Amino acid sequence: MTNRKQVAGDFFDNTRFTVDWDEHTATCPGSRTNAYWSATRSHWGTPVTRARFFPRDCDPGELRANCTNSRHGRSLTFRP
């Protein structure tokens, strides 16, 4: 899903998150660390890693508008 922030280049895509593959953590630009991490497969059957943040980590604030509009928190999908 594309929104105006993504088109304008202000959206925090996966490259704005710091990923520690050994520790299974992703850290957002607001210094919050993911709540869940899973190695799984996409619906096409390819390997993916998913990281999800608690909704409270995405509380309204200066960075939220650039990160997500989901009330369920931010989710990231990394492909090898």
Report pLDDT digits (tens) over 30-46: 888 999 999 999 999 99
Please tell me the distance from the alpha carbon of residue 34 to that of residue 3, in angstroms, as a whole number: 23
Question: What is the model's pLDDT at position 4?
Answer: 44
Question: What is the model's pLDDT at position 23?
Answer: 96
Domain count, the chain: 1
Find the mean pLDDT for residues 47-65: 79
- Predicted confidence (pLDDT) at residue 76 exceeds the cutoff of 60: yes
Q: What value does the mean pLDDT of the chain take?
A: 79
Question: What is the model's pLDDT at position 6?
Answer: 44
Residue whose C-alpha is closest to residue 55's, from 64, 47, 42:
64
**Domain span at residue 67?**
4-78
